[in-house]
Amino acid sequence: MILNPMGFTLGSLHGATDHGLVPSVIPGYIGLILGDLVFGMMVGFVQQLAFRRADLPLGSARWIIANAIGFTLGARAGAFLTFRLTDDWLTAGIIFGMFMGGSIGLSTAFALYRSISSGRLFAWLVTCVFAWVVGEKIAFASLFSIKTAPLVGAAIAGITGLALMVILPHLRMEKQVLEEQWRSMPPPQTRPDPD
């Protein structure tokens, strides 16, 4: 919850469509896509740092890649479709947030897929959509000011962080059970050489 606003702000500085370093250096659609990938990777990177510190099984490159892909798909779909669906700026924040949250929720659900139940995966997806709707409402209301990027990140982190606090103890317990099962397994038997 503390690192996510940092990752979001760093991602915004490097990858945001309007003022990010990557889209400024590499113009056009390629720059936008690369900027989105960088933005999502930075968010995923700081999250996986927290997961590793908490000794959770999510601290992997898979989580970073899932965030990068989800962020990119959500940002590009949202940018393409939002203002085709509405002319109202504040409603656009809701729609864009649904694209972002749905995309990131689905992509990170693949990273969580073998670790939690389908009911918890669905709750995670709904939480992501809600978190990003709240975050994007703030972003749209502030006209995407770089000054509010930490607030947007904090809103998303607060909501998804609370959800992870419910989901992650289950993951930690499951990891401990698997480790105990692994330790209690007898060593593999070797067959005598027939020669």
Phi, psi of 139, deg, nearest 5:
-60, -45
Task: Of 54-58, 164-168, 185-189, give the range with the top mean pLDDT.
Answer: 164-168
Q: What is the DSSP string of 50-112?
A: HHHHTT-TT-SHHHHHHHHHHHHHHHHHHHHHHHHH-S-HHHHHHHHHHHHHHHHHHHHHHHH
Phi, psi of 118, deg, nearest 5:
-65, -35
Per-residue pLDDT tens digits for 136-158: 999 999 988 878 888 888 899 88
Residue 51, H or E segment: helix 28-53
Is the pLDDT at 102 greater than 80, yes or no? Answer: yes
Sign of the torsion angle spanned by Cα atoms 163, 86, 74, 144: negative
Per-residue pLDDT tens digits for 58-99: 667 888 999 999 999 999 999 999 999 999 988 999 999 999
Annotated domain spans of the chain:
3-180
Among candidates 117, 138, 129, 128, which has minimal Cα distance to 163?
128
Residues 6+ apart with CB under 8 A from 118: none
Q: What token pair was written down for 3?
A: 């690192």
On the 0-12 / 13-18 / 19+ scale of CB atoms within 10 A, 76 is middle
SS3 state at 178? helix
On the 0-12 / 13-18 / 19+ scale of CB atoms within 10 A, 11 is buried
Q: Name the pTM for this structure.
A: 0.81
Q: What token pair was written down for 83?
A: 């203002």
Percent of the chain with pLDDT over 90: 35
